[in-house]
Chains A and B, each alone.
Chain A
Amino acid sequence: MNILNQTGKYFALLLKVFSKPEKHSLYVRQTFNEIDNLGVKSFGIVAVISIFMGGITTLQVAYNLTNPLLPTYLIGLGNRDTLILEFSSTILALIMAGKIGSNITSEIGSMKVTEQIDSLEIMGVNSASYLILPKIIAVVMMFPLLYIFSVFFGLIGGMIVGPAVGAVTVTDYLNGVQYLFNPYYVTYSLIKCLVFGFLIASISAFFGYTVEGGAFDVGSASTRAVVNTNIMILIWDLILTQLLL
């Protein structure tokens, strides 16, 4: 019953979020602020995570290629497909649910418990739309860019680690990266990124917007938001993979 109740409230909130804004110019300004805050400021951590992710994947593929008859360029190919298909979309989404999601929940939750949201409502502002819509647009727009950025740095990570441990030469690695490339894999992952971006922003905002109590409750809401977002990301990953591949 509680899940049904929460789901109903989530969709009711989304209806409020996607209603006509009071003043477009303010919403546009707010969206650019969120693009900077939630998207641009995530590039650093995405680069670091992706370099390590690419490096480790390269090592693991190399470790499993024990047959001397298999060409070493498969290491580059393995790393590329793993990053494009799953790691730079799903794993990154799970990590971003922690970083961006908890940021959104705690920001909106703090505004709720300090009556800032009531204050917006009293002014006649649709607080749900003003606070949440720019975040959803920003995350949905930025997540595909973060994905492309992550794939690039993941490949760089593999190119650094693979040759460094003597598993593959740079030339072989780059040949593998270019070998049998299927552009549809990128399209499939970009679609996943749009869905994951929406889930991260909307679910986190929902938990922040509906929090009651004080600082402790905001903390609990952030945790619940991250856990629920992660579960929804995995469920939608399964659904989209079945539908699109």
Chain B
Amino acid sequence: MIEIRNIYKSFEQKAVLKNISKVFNKGETNLIIGRSGSGKTVLLKAIVGLHEVDKGQILYDGRDFTSMSQKLRKKLRQEMGMVFQGGALFDSLTVEENVRFPLDMFSELTTAEKQKQVDFCLERVNISNANQLYPSEISGGMQKRVAIARAIVLNPKYLFCDEPNSGLDPETSMVIDELIHSITVDLQITTIINTHDMNSVMEIGDNILFISEGEMCWEGNRKEILHAENQKLQEFVFANKQYQRIRDDKIEENK
């Protein structure tokens, strides 16, 4: 479980995050949603420590990340996996080497054991016959899947995904969503996903935080989101005509 308490963050006098608090549960896909520029990525990067918060606390199963020494943070980070927007695979390494990298760096496993774990993770994300290819030789969807495999190779307790569907077609997006959701449930990890993709919200949104202009506006789950009263949330959700139709149909049914 990850808990954030009263988070504030600003860049050169510009307040980007204002008093955000939230509990992200274990075994659930926790979503941070909002328009582009609303502060989602800054919040996610603050949670993982890539941005230092100005004020507030971030607790990983009760361990205060904000007041932790760099040494302890480094240790805690070995319990984290992150999938970046562009995949962030290492260009100079093959698919297999990318996935093996965290094992080489932090585990004391034998070469055979490492290979077994790499094969297991690649199989888990449905990658086959691409082990020796370089990231530039595989598609965007495959890069995202390899990034997920690399993120879970050390059996993390916490998984973070920054816009995992950006640049992918709807079908591949669904595959990625389902993959992240099943990994979260199967491995019982705390997953936080940053997205503005409403399809993801409706498919895997167990626990949703909506932020607008750096402020926390609404929280709930995918069943509640279509009926939420919040004006800013409605503007965000119903900007997509498909969801407008779903809402209108429901209103008609109720009449």
**A residues in contact (CB < 8 Å) with B:** 22-23, 26, 110-111, 114-116, 118-119, 121-126
Q: Which of B80-114 contact A (CB under 8 A)?
A: 80-82, 84-86, 88-91, 101-102, 104-106
A119 to chain B, nearest CB (A): 4
Q: Is B77 an interface residue (CB 8 A)?
A: yes
Contact B105 A115, beta carbon cutoff 8 Å: no
- Residues of B within 8 Å of A119, CB to CB, are 82, 84, 88, 90
Contact A125 B88, beta carbon cutoff 8 Å: no
Nearest chain B residue, comparing its CB with the CB of A23: B105
How many interface residues does chain B have, given as a range? Answer: 20 to 34
Report the Cα distance A121→B77, complex, angstroms.
8
CB < 8 Å: which of B48, B78, B82, B88 contacts A114?
A: B88
- Residues of B within 8 Å of A22, CB to CB, are 105-106
- Residues of A within 8 Å of B14, CB to CB, are none
- The 0/1 profile, CB within 8 Å of A marked 1, for residues 118-146 of chain B is 00000000000000000000000000000
Nearest chain B residue, comparing its CB with the CB of A130: B105
- Residues of A within 8 Å of B101, CB to CB, are 123
Most buried by B among A115, A119, A121: A119
- Residues of A within 8 Å of B80, CB to CB, are 122-124
Known contacts A22-B106, A26-B105, A115 near B86 by CB under 8 Å: yes
- Residues of B within 8 Å of A123, CB to CB, are 77-78, 80, 101-102, 105-106
- Residues of A within 8 Å of B88, CB to CB, are 114-116, 118-119
A33 to chain B, nearest CB (A): 9
> What are 20 contact pairs spanning A and B, CB under 8 A?
A22-B106, A23-B105, A110-B91, A111-B91, A114-B86, A114-B88, A114-B91, A115-B84, A115-B85, A115-B88, A116-B91, A118-B84, A119-B90, A122-B48, A122-B160, A124-B73, A124-B76, A124-B80, A124-B106, A125-B105
